[in-house]
Amino acid sequence: MQQAQAAYRTAANPIRTPRGAEYDAFARITGRLRAVSRSPAGFRDIAAAIHDNRRLWTILATDAVGDGNLLPPELRARILYLAEFTRVHSGRVLRAGAAVEPLIEINTAVMRGLAGRDGTT
């Protein structure tokens, strides 16, 4: 009986869309950025959160320039701009102790867009 219930639970899980997976990645990483910005985190924790955020934006930028990307050119350009800003500002956070909040704000705006709440409607 327990095996049948476990099998049903697995089958009942919703199917994750690529957009949902992107949202989840942003939510997880943004949560880590918030945590290090709100508490007296050590450099190792800050660096780890920044590193993961940079990796996420590198993946997005790489996808944006790919031949198979079907996003409009203007949106692809915005993604590249934000990826570059994230790279530069992340360096400032690590080298000079700049605020993490701009990175959190960018990620949160992207999450709103992924959730269909971009503020333009």
Give the separation between CA 50 and CA 100, rounded to whole angstroms. Answer: 9
Give the separation between CA 43 and CA 94, rounded to whole angstroms. Answer: 8
DSSP state of 39: T
The sign one gets for the Cα dihedral 43, 52, 79, 58 is: positive
> What is the predicted pLDDT for the residue at 10?
53
> What is the predicted pLDDT for the residue at 116?
87
For the record, the structure tokens of 43 come out as 């450099």
Q: How far is CA 37 from CA 73, 84, 86, in A?
A: 34, 21, 16
Q: pLDDT in tens for each of the 121 residues of the chain?
A: 566 555 555 555 567 788 899 999 999 999 999 999 998 878 999 999 999 999 999 999 999 999 999 999 999 999 999 999 999 999 999 999 999 999 999 999 999 999 987 554 4
> What is the predicted pLDDT for the residue at 12?
53
For the record, the structure tokens of 2 come out as 């327990």
> What is the predicted pLDDT for the residue at 17?
84
> What is the predicted pLDDT for the residue at 5?
56
> What is the predicted pLDDT for the residue at 18?
81
> What is the predicted pLDDT for the residue at 121?
40
